Structure 1
Amino acid sequence: MNLRKLGATGPTVSAIGLGAMGMSGMYGPSDRRESIATVHAAIDAGVTLIDTGDFYGMGHNEMLLAEALKGVPRDSYQLSVKFGALRDAVGGWNGIDGRPAAVKNFVAYSLQRLGVDHIDIYRPARLDPDVPVEETVGAIADLVAAGQVRHIGLSEVGAGTIRRAAAVHPVCDLQIEYSLVSRTVEAEILPTLRELGIGMTAYGVLSRGLISGHWQAAPTGAGDFRAHSPRFQPGNVEANLRLVEALRAAAAARGATVAQVAIAWVASRGEDIVPLVGARRCDQLAESLGAAELALSPEDLQRIEAAVPAGAAVGERYPAHAMAALDSEDRGV
């Protein structure tokens, strides 16, 4: 596994990271034993960066990772943890809390659930509209000084917010959705990151399975986030799958799978970008990690982007209420 450095001040991590969210119910039921086996397989393959959130399964994901990583040398992997999303006992969402006192409360619980003495990258999951980002980042900076956090990250914020946060404390990376079908970051956010020496961890590189090459236009199960995703709705999903079929032809010409080509395309955008793959089964992980060996030529890239042109996807990446909460989607920033 090749390595990449997250920004000018961040850690050196595996060129592909593992996103663990799907192991805690966001895409329907998952198998605990298979999830743990997948984490083990990722570590064995040289994956060092593991991404989670304290609200994934209301703490379930962190406890799952604690079990999976028990006995693994702490200096052999990096934990990236998002915080701030408020949930209720039935899985509802109740906003974001970025207050300094809340930040220090959240980290205490995460350290306990994860069974570690520090978190490598700590980041607010979303911008709290009622708390200046300077206050939230300042609270994480206190945790860095205390040794409980090593680096500060951001998630789904726009260029203006990135600048304000970086003025308080060095930021190592921005976690944001970036894929062949989600490319709005290229206009302003990515240039801002590069100007400031901040890396990117890209999630949704397969658009939640939509461009994996395995998705069928069928109803999603109970508890599956995609049941409410605009891109998976009738009418939209069929149009989007036509893009996937065009991508399949480009992948076949390269002797790779659709998923591998989609992941490799994100990785090709720059050495400062680390794709996160959301595999929750060993077979999914094995296919995804094959992208690490796929060096795309200029001709490959031209063929891929002709198959899935920028802006070709039908439907937004989140439902309307969730899109409205994304600072990163504020076109006026």
Structure 2
Amino acid sequence: MITITGTEQFKAWQEKELPPVEEVHAGVFSVPVPFINNPMRYTLAYVLVGEKEVAVVDPGWDSDEGWEALKAGLAAAGLTPSSVTGIVVTHFHPDHLGMAARLRAASGAWVALGEHEPRAESWGSEPDAFVAADRKQFQAWGVPADFLDEVSFHQATWAQMANLQEPEHRLADGELLPVAGLQVRVLATPGHTPGHICLVDEANGLILTGDHVLPRITPHISLETINQVDPLGDYLASLEAMGVGADMEVLPAHEYRFRGLPERVAELKEHTLTRSAEVLAVLESGTAETVWDVSRKLTWSRGFVSLRGFTLRLALAETASHLVYLAARGTAVDIAVPRSPAAVG
């Protein structure tokens, strides 16, 4: 069992409100930035104050509302956007990287991602080709024609991903953040994305886990992520690396702070392997010929028929990641799991 340390955050989560800005530790502030039209509701940005230098970790989804929330969080720390010298993003998803361009424009700060995280150029220069390739992948996964429009990306998705802020710095595993007065080390944790990173602040006994470890939900592990061959295998291996934070307070990018990282890691591993066992049982039954077929036979919290739109897309991509994981470990998987050029880069 974990121990919840972000009690105000937990209360706000239960009441479906935005939590307050908090000084977690001297010079470390958590700032909730609204995640517009999403059940996660907010991303927890973190402001790390060094010696005349300031880093913001995961500035959040780009919106006017989010910008005001981020400025208010900086103000609570006695800062303004112009005070920020570095922007560190745990992974490329828009609810983490989205606000980086606006914050960089207001501050001149550098932006950094993990060294293996995809760049915007990975999505190509032609939106029509991107959309067609994405649709082709889901067709190959057995998605019926009636569902293709709702699970496939559209040109607006391409524009959103291609316009995300490009990083000036790439952070390698074990590297210290280049911020004066901080001793925060990068921990590579691929899985949720190819170049996802966590940040270990040994001096203050804190570990910032991005989306790699959250207190309540299991991070989505998708096969479709660019440049990732076996994302589920990567994720399980990355969980093993979390022992460095065994006694630390966990600062996730969503939900609320907690202690008990080893216990939570054990839960995540058990959940993931149980899911793979369920996928294996479907394969052994001989009743599935496509990714869609397997997905339909798995246990979903509200049933498969309730999955629509982007949620259905995620469910299919998760199923595909389990099929690839099993195949990589010697299971005979007769179901082809082709990937489009847009997916593999």
Give the alignment's TM-score, normalised by structure 2.
0.32
Bigger relative contact order (CA 8 A; separation at least 6):
1
